[in-house]
């Protein structure tokens, strides 16, 4: 196998900035340090102030160099970090100088972490934790990423895999020594008990209401209601900008328009949707269909009613679900009619009542997020694999219960082990590696 490339990249933020950190990893690091640092290769893990020169001996900049020898470094390879002035010219000069050498190139997104993963320093969920902590904007996202990075998910998946490996061993014994001495029930019963417990635990994990993914990707609130109720006006209020078009014409909003806010310490996507009504207009009908999808997928629906609409009483029962917040809008035009129970009375036009509504959304999201402690699923990828793993385990249980053969059960259990293993990246990961690491920024 040919020697690996040495990779380099700007690991800090975009210039201009006070400091630029350039990171190098790979087999040429020592030679590059000898060649370009006036002080030569720095002592391991000690910052040293040095001039850095280009291939003609001209000064690039003066800064700190930090050498971390492999295998104890993040990537497991020799690594060098250079702390230079954070200007675009300095960065370009340094990177051009380094990449002019054979075998030295710019890093791809996530390549340092990918190397760390390949060196066995991190498993795949921990590597995802690295990506997530960089992307984290809320305290909750950061806490979740830190837990993941610290092996919080790995522990659970490792434990399940260990238990399942034990179950597989028992099943294999049953295959090798069928019906020996005791009745088959005696060997099958403890296997079924263990399998049942695991199935239960995985079902509980999958029944987490998607909290982990929502903390990471955002909670969903849909504004729904009849045309002209003032949904877009409300969205604009909540967005604090003119995100959606407002007109006096019913049926203005066609597509779903989403705005992003941080409420209750969480990312929340608020969606304005087309007014719900039966319509001949093809485009509007598609809008209504999309509104219904958005409403279904939302964690919270704001069902907006127009206080001045003559049919408000009838509308208030037509589409709404129990979980909705009923928001009666246009309070400036009149009082809420008798018989309509409103959770919130607002005027989206003049803003009255909107703060209280916003606080209610924040409270809802906060409580929703707190309803599951330490979810072990934080991405769709985990959910898909775990769901597949669960169905393999159920197939194994059925095979054992119906006594159709321990071989079949063993095969299903092996399949489940592979699915669980692919979540943490110990098996069958080639197909997911590219997807996982391409989400990273360059330099990480
Ligand atoms: N008086 C009053 N008028 C409002 C209020 N909110 C919205 N409107 C008016 O009601 C009309 C419809 O508002 P939109 O926000 O476009 O209503 P919508 O529910 O998004 O309508 P569609 O896109 O047709 O579904 C506009 O003329 C708004 O200015 C309010 O609180 N008070």
Tell me how far the alpha carbon of residue 134 lies from the centroid of ligand 1, in angstroms: 40
Count of alpha carbons within 13 angstroms of residue 225, beta-carbon side = 30
| Helix ranges restricted to H, 177-249 | 184-206, 211-217, 231-239
CB atoms within 10 A of CB 241: 10
248 lines ligand 1 (CB under 6 A): yes
Q: Which residues pair with 325 in a beta bridge?
A: 302
Sequence spans of domains, the chain? 6-107, 127-208+377-438, 215-370
pLDDT digit string, tens, across residues 245-268: 888 787 777 788 899 999 989 999
Is the pLDDT at 428 greater than 80, yes or no?
no
The mean predicted confidence, pLDDT, of the chain is 89
Measured between alpha carbons, how far is 370 from 374 in angstroms, rounded to an integer? 9
User: Shortest CA distance to 349 belongs to which of 274, 260, 246, 264?
Assistant: 246
Tell me how far the alpha carbon of residue 150 lies from the centroid of ligand 1, in angstroms: 49
Tokens of 308: 């001045």
**Res 183: pLDDT:** 47
Q: In angstroms, how far is CA 134 from the centroid of its own chain?
A: 12
- Enter the pTM of the model: 0.83
User: Shortest CA distance to 246 belongs to which of 262, 231, 268, 259?
Assistant: 231
Measured between alpha carbons, how far is 169 from 40 in angstroms, rounded to an integer? 56
Domains 6-107 and 215-370 share a fold: no
**Res 317: pLDDT:** 54
333 lines ligand 1 (CB under 6 A): yes
Is the pLDDT at 425 greater than 80, yes or no?
yes
- For the segment 52-73, the average pLDDT, to the nearest whole number, is 97
Contact 325, 301 (CB under 8 A): yes
Which atom of ligand 1 lies closest to the CA of 246?
16
- Identify the top-confidence range among 88-92, 169-173, 335-339: 88-92
Per-position DSSP letters for 53-106, written without gaps between them: E-TTS-EEEEEEEEEE-TTSSSSSS-EEEEEEEE-HHHHHHHHHHHHTSTTEEE
**Res 308: pLDDT:** 87
Q: Which residues pair with 329 in a beta bridge?
A: 306
Hey, whose CA ends up nearest to atom 1 of ligand 1?
330
The percent of residues above 90 in pLDDT, for the chain, comes to 69
Hey, whose CA ends up nearest to atom 7 of ligand 1?
230
Measured between alpha carbons, how far is 332 from 306 in angstroms, rounded to an integer? 11
**Res 32: pLDDT:** 98
Looking at per-residue pLDDT, the higher value among 359 and 275 belongs to: 359
Is the pLDDT at 323 greater than 70, yes or no?
no
Is the pLDDT at 327 greater than 90, yes or no?
yes
CATH class of the domain defined by 127-208+377-438:
mainly alpha
- For the segment 369-385, the average pLDDT, to the nearest whole number, is 92
- Residue 444: which pLDDT band, with cuts at 50, 70 and 90? confident
Per-position DSSP letters for 136-159, written without gaps between them: --SHHHHHHHHHHHTTHHHHHHHH
**Helix crossing, 152-176 with 406-424: angle to 10°?**
160
Mean pLDDT is lowest, of 119-128, 272-281, 352-361, 431-440, for 431-440
Is the pLDDT at 19 greater than 90, yes or no?
yes
- For the segment 56-75, the average pLDDT, to the nearest whole number, is 97
Residues annotated in the binding site for GTP, as ranges? 228-233, 247-253, 272-275, 347-349
Q: What is the 8-class DSSP label of residue 108?
A: P
- For the segment 357-386, the average pLDDT, to the nearest whole number, is 93
Which atom of ligand 1 lies closest to the CA of 227?
25
The percent of residues above 70 in pLDDT, for the chain, comes to 92
What is the ipTM, given to two decimal places? 0.98
Domain spanning 215-370: CATH 1.20.1250.20: no
Q: What is the 8-class DSSP label of residue 444?
A: -
251 lines ligand 1 (CB under 6 A): yes
- For the segment 346-356, the average pLDDT, to the nearest whole number, is 95
DSSP element (H, E) containing 23: strand 17-25
Looking at per-residue pLDDT, the higher value among 248 and 135 belongs to: 135
Measured between alpha carbons, how far is 269 from 218 in angstroms, rounded to an integer? 6
Q: Is 218 exposed, middle or buried (0-12, 13-18, 19+ CB in 10 A)?
A: buried
Tokens of 395: 């197939």
Is the pLDDT at 121 greater than 90, yes or no?
yes
Instruction: Dump strand ranges (E) for 273-400.
Output: 300-306, 325-329, 344-345
Is the pLDDT at 171 greater than 80, yes or no?
yes
Question: What SS3 class is residue 47?
Answer: coil
SS3 content of the chain, % helix, strand, coil (to 5): 45, 20, 35
Tell me how far the alpha carbon of residue 262 lies from the centroid of ligand 1, in angstroms: 25
Hey, whose CA ends up nearest to atom 2 of ligand 1?
330
User: Shortest CA distance to 215 belongs to which of 151, 150, 130, 137?
Assistant: 137
Residues annotated in the binding site for Mg(2+), as ranges? 232, 253
CATH, range 6-107: 3.30.1360.120
275 lines ligand 1 (CB under 6 A): yes
Is the pLDDT at 349 greater than 70, yes or no?
yes
Is the pLDDT at 184 greater than 70, yes or no?
no
**Res 1: pLDDT:** 43
Torsion of CA 104, 107, 112, 118, to 10 degrees: -80
- For the segment 181-188, the average pLDDT, to the nearest whole number, is 60
Q: What is the 8-class DSSP label of residue 44?
A: B
Indicate the top mutation candidate among 222, 226, 233 to test ligand 1's pocket, ranked by most ligand atoms within 8 A of CB: 233
**Res 3: pLDDT:** 76
**Res 335: pLDDT:** 85
């Amino acid at each position: 196998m040919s020697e690996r490339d040495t990779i380099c990249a700007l690991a800090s933020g975009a210039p201009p900035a006070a400091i630029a950190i350039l990171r190098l990893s790979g087999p040429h690091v020592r030679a590059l340090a000898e060649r370009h640092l006036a002080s030569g290769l720095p002592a391991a893990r000690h910052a040293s102030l040095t001039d850095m020169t280009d291939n003609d001996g001209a000064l690039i900049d003066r800064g700190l160099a930090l050498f971390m020898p492999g295998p104890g470094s993040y990537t497991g390879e020799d690594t060098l970090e250079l702390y230079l002035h954070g200007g675009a010219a300095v960065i370009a000069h340094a990177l051009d100088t380094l990449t002019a050498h054979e075998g030295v190139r710019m890093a791809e997104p996530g390549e340092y972490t990918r190397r760390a993963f390949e060196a066995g320093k991190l498993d795949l969920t921990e590597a995802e934790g690295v990506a997530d902590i960089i992307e984290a904007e809320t305290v909750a996202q950061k806490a979740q990423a830190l837990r993941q990075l610290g092996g919080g998910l790995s522990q659970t998946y490792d434990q399940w895999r260990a238990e399942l490996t034990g179950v597989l061993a028992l099943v294999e014994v049953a295959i090798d020594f069928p019906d020996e001495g005791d009745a088959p029930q005696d060997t099958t019963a403890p296997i079924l008990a263990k399998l049942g417990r695991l199935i239960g635990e995985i079902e509980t994990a999958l029944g987490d209401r998607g909290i982990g993914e929502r903390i990471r990707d955002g909670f969903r609130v849909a504004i729904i209601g009849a045309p002209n109720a003032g949904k877009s006006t409300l969205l604009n209020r909540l967005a604090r900008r003119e995100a959606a078009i407002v007109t006096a014409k019913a049926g203005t909003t066609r597509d779903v328009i989403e705005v992003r806010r941080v409420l209750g310490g969480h990312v929340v996507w608020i969606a304005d949707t087309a007014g719900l009504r039966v319509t001949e207009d093809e485009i509007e009908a598609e809008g209504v269909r999309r509104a219904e999808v958005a409403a279904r997928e939302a964690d919270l629906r704001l069902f907006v009613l127009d206080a001045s609409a003559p049919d408000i009483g009838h509308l208030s029962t037509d589409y709404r679900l129990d979980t909705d917040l009923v928001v009666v809008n246009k309070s400036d035009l009149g009082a809420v009619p008798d018989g309509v129970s409103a959770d919130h009375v607002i005027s989206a036009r003049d803003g009255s009542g909107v703060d209280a509504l916003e606080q209610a959304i924040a409270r809802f999201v906060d409580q929703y997020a707190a309803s599951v402690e330490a979810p072990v699923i934080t991405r769709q990828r985990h959910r898909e694999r775990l769901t597949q793993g669960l169905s393999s385990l159920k197939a194994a249980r059925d095979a054992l219960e119906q006594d159709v053969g321990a071989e079949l059960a063993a095969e299903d259990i092996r399949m489940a082990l592979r699915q669980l293993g692919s979540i943490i990246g110990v098996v069958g990961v080639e197909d997911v590696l590219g997807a996982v690491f391409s989400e990273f920024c360059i330099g990480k």
